[in-house]
Structures are given as C-alpha cells and as structure tokens.
Chain A
C-alpha cells in the first residue's frame, strides 16, 4: 500500500501539471511521526539523513503556501487584481517546481513514509492552488476560482502542518529573531 502510494505521488509530482485533478487523491492531513520522533527508534543517522533532505523541501513548501495565501488576499481585496502576472507568482511557480524535483529525489525509511506522504500531498495541493491562479481574470468575477484556491491552500497547509517536526528543523515559523527570542 505504501509503495503504491509512493508510486502514485511520485508520478503525480513529476508528470502532471500543477492543476491536474488527480492530485486531489492521497492521504488526509493527519499528524504523523517526524524525524525527531523517530530518532530514538531508528537511530539518529537514518532519520537525520531524511530530515536533512526534507528540510529544503519543507522550506520551499512553507513559502509557497504563504505566498499563495498572501497573493489570494491581495487579488481579492486590493485593486491589483492582475495577480497572475506578478513576478511573485512566477517565483512561486519556480519554487514549487524545484520542490517537486527535490521530492522526487527524497527517499524515506519505511517508518517515515507517512511523513513523506504528507509532504507530497502538501506539494500536490499547493500545485492545484497555483494552477487555479491562471483562471483569475482582471476585473472579472473570480469568486469561484477564489473558493477553489482557498480550499487547496488550506489543504496544503494542513498537510504541511502535519509534517512539522520542530527538532528536525521542520518548523512553520522562524522564531530565531522574533520578539520573544532576541539574543537567545
């Protein structure tokens, strides 16, 4: 089952376009064990290798999800409705594509396969949101497209949240210079 899922998701992330409906299949967002939880069980080397490889993917997806949500707010609420031509959307696309390539090369020990699936699903749903941005029309009625984008962004965020592992460096917020942490 796990292998089949891997095959399906690998195919989806490498072959299909960001707006392909097949991405909608996959695991539900649910908290899974991350590399820091598994370090004790597997030995830190195995899980550490996975965490190292996963970190840049997680970072890419964290940004993609944040950008998509922010761009949607701007498209909805500001006069700059032509978001689809913004450089930030193009950079988001490039980051999403780069994340897909990294995921394709990301191998997980069996115990971390559910973690990888959450990452893959976060990538897939952010791809669906990304694809829907091209449907936005300047000065048009975009309510239906916004609903779709919103749904996919929420789902992508839920999958990414499920894959957070603070001690492995897979964290949603960078608190290193935050108001609470200066000098620590």
Chain B
C-alpha cells in the first residue's frame, strides 16, 4: 500500500556541466548534463513539492548567457505533465536557500513553505561579514529572503529546527547542518505510513547530486565504492558524507531509494518520458489508485 506518488520534474538544464562540480575531486574528467528539477509528492489529501526552482524572469537571461542554462519552463507547464496545477500545491519543503531551489515561491500561491531556521540565520550572519569573506554568500538572492519575509507575514513560512516527524502524514524533515549549505534539509517519505517503514524514499535536495555521490570511486582506498560528496560545500564535505550515511541508513542501504534531483541517469532506474518541451518526467512511485504519467 502506497500513500504517495512521487515524480521528479525537470524544469531546465545545463548541457555541459563540469563533472568536478558534481563530484568532489573529479577534476579534468569532462562534462555531464545537469538537469534542474523539483519533486512533486502527491497524496490523497496533500500535494507537496520539494523545492520550487527559480524564476526565469529574474535570472533567465544571465543564466542562459553566462552559464548555458537552457529550456526553462514554468511550473504551470511542467506540472501540467503530471496533471497538477501550481495552485493545488499546499506544501513546499525548501531543502536550502539557493536561488534554483527557493527562487520561485510566487508561483505557488496557496502553499505553506518549510525551511530550516539555521538556513536563514546563517545567511543573515554571512551577509554581515566583511567583504573578504563574501564567498560564503554565494548563490543566495536577497530577493528570495525578501519574498520569504512576505511569506512569513502571510503565515505561509515555517522555520523548523532540526528533524521534524510527520510534517505531513508519513513525511519527515531532516537537517544536514553545515553541509552543502548551512541549514540544508532532506525529506523522507514513509510511503506505507509506518514508523518503521518498509517503503521509504529519501529526497536528497543538493546533499546528493548524482548516483556517483553514493557510489563514488573507491580504488584509492581499496574499496569498490565510497561516498563522494558533491563539489560545493559551504559547510564541509565531511558533513555531506555523514548526511549521505544517515540517508542511506533510513532506506536500509538500498541506494536506489535515495533520489538525487540533478541526476540525468534517473531514467536508467525509474520509468520516465520526455515531454513535448524536451524535459524529463521521472516517476519514482505511484500511490494506490494513481495512474502512471509516463507510460501510455
């Protein structure tokens, strides 16, 4: 019995992304495609998102011209592929405050947003530091924090402090402090609703970009595979590896249940299709009674 359907929805991509950005230490190993995605979790009583992408109006030209980001499509267009309207989304879990995860709250007018308190507090601290420490402010748009303040005024922003169980029935939040960002978060779906679930999915945010972060090359330490962190850590790579272990433990070390949203090869593991706009919809699982959105 499954309570929720889960889809990974691509909304844009970079065709040629340095592999060392994806995988710590993978220098001079060429390029990979980096899809930009958010996750939809649809249950009987709730439709939730993990992250909301970014607003092309504000960033599209810069990202296209300078970084080769292509083919952005709005949530209205992307979510229509799975029969969901943005206004039907009632809950959004923001894994961290980077612009490509927290940069489009306005397109979800009826949603309540959850973010770690530490993520906000530490960005405020980082913005107070001298200019020579400016690196720590990377990739956060003050405008997103301004819009977060608006959400707070509307009682639509919730700051959480560490782990929270059953934020929606069977859905838990977990903190990974000082990792990819100061207050990164991952989302766990216990899809049978049980406390000791046999059907757990972990939605990793940017704590894991790709499968190789879990199955990294281990030859240097005489192991077949080792966890290898993502390329960007405002906190530490150690904390990323520890977060990976915690996520893996939650799924009984069944790595295909840890979902990396920047992974192009999700198509090799889960059913998927390419939409008319050239973006991929990947179907992680289906709730009881839900029809597939990727097979004819």
Binds A, one of B83-91, B129-137, B162-170, B272-280: B129-137
Given contacts A78-B117, A153-B146, A153-B149, contact A63 B127 (CB under 8 A): yes
* Inter-chain contact total with CB atoms closer than 8 Å: 142
Q: Is the CB of A175 within 8 A of B66?
A: yes
The answer to whether the Cβ of B218 comes within 8 Å of any Cβ in the partner chain is: no
Given contacts A66-B127, A175-B62, A179-B98, contact A78 B159 (CB under 8 A): yes
Given contacts A73-B148, A73-B152, contact A172 B232 (CB under 8 A): no
| Most chain A beta carbons < 10 A, residue from B61, B63, B149, B206 | B149
Q: Is the CB of B142 within 8 A of A65?
A: yes
Among residues of B, the one whose C-beta sits closest to the C-beta of A160 is: B142
Q: Is the CB of A157 within 8 A of B135?
A: no
Among residues of A, the one whose C-beta sits closest to the C-beta of B151 is: A73
Q: What is the number of residues of chain A that contact chain B, defined by CB distance less than 8 Å?
A: 42
Q: Least Cβ distance of A144 to chain B in Å?
A: 12
Q: Mark B106-149, 1 if CB is under 8 A from A, else 0.
A: 00000000000100110111011001001101111111011011
Q: Least Cβ distance of B68 to chain A in Å?
A: 8
Q: Is the CB of A173 within 8 A of B140?
A: yes
Given contacts A77-B117, A174-B138, A174-B139, contact A154 B146 (CB under 8 A): yes
By a CB distance below 8 angstroms, the chain A residues around B137 are 63, 174
Please report the C-alpha to C-alpha distance between residue A181 and residue B125 in the assembled complex, in whole angstroms: 24
Q: Least Cβ distance of A83 to chain B in Å?
A: 10
Please report the C-alpha to C-alpha distance between residue A95 and residue B142 in the assembled complex, in whole angstroms: 15
Q: Is the CB of B157 within 8 A of A73?
A: yes
Q: Is the CB of B153 within 8 A of A147?
A: yes
Q: Least Cβ distance of B38 to chain A in Å?
A: 14
Among residues of B, the one whose C-beta sits closest to the C-beta of A77 is: B159
By a CB distance below 8 angstroms, the chain A residues around B146 are 65-66, 69, 153-154, 157
The answer to whether the Cβ of A135 comes within 8 Å of any Cβ in the partner chain is: no
Q: Is the CB of B121 within 8 A of A74?
A: yes
Q: Least Cβ distance of A118 to chain B in Å?
A: 15
Please report the C-alpha to C-alpha distance between residue A59 and residue B69 in the assembled complex, in whole angstroms: 25
Task: Please provide the chain A residues from 72 to 96 with a CB less than 8 Å away from any CB of chain B in the complex.
Answer: 72-74, 76-78, 87-88, 91-92, 95
The answer to whether the Cβ of B236 comes within 8 Å of any Cβ in the partner chain is: no
Please report the C-alpha to C-alpha distance between residue A70 and residue B151 in the assembled complex, in whole angstroms: 12
The answer to whether the Cβ of A166 comes within 8 Å of any Cβ in the partner chain is: yes
Q: Least Cβ distance of B188 to chain A in Å?
A: 23
Please report the C-alpha to C-alpha distance between residue A79 and residue B21 in the assembled complex, in whole angstroms: 37
By a CB distance below 8 angstroms, the chain A residues around B69 are 180
The answer to whether the Cβ of A178 comes within 8 Å of any Cβ in the partner chain is: yes
Known: A150-B149, A180-B34. 15 other contacts (CB 8 A): A65-B142, A66-B145, A66-B146, A67-B124, A70-B121, A71-B124, A72-B149, A73-B157, A76-B149, A78-B159, A88-B128, A146-B153, A175-B62, A180-B63, A182-B17
User: Nearest 9 pairs between A and B by C-beta?
Assistant: A66-B142, A182-B21, A70-B124, A183-B18, A178-B139, A91-B128, A69-B145, A69-B149, A69-B146
Binding site for A on B (CB under 8 A): 14, 17-18, 20-21, 34, 36, 58-59, 61-63, 66-67, 69, 98-100, 117, 120-121, 123-125, 127-128, 131, 134-135, 137-143, 145-146, 148-150, 152-153, 157-159, 161, 206, 231-232, 262
5 A-B interface contacts by CB (under 8 A): A70-B121, A73-B149, A76-B152, A177-B139, A178-B139
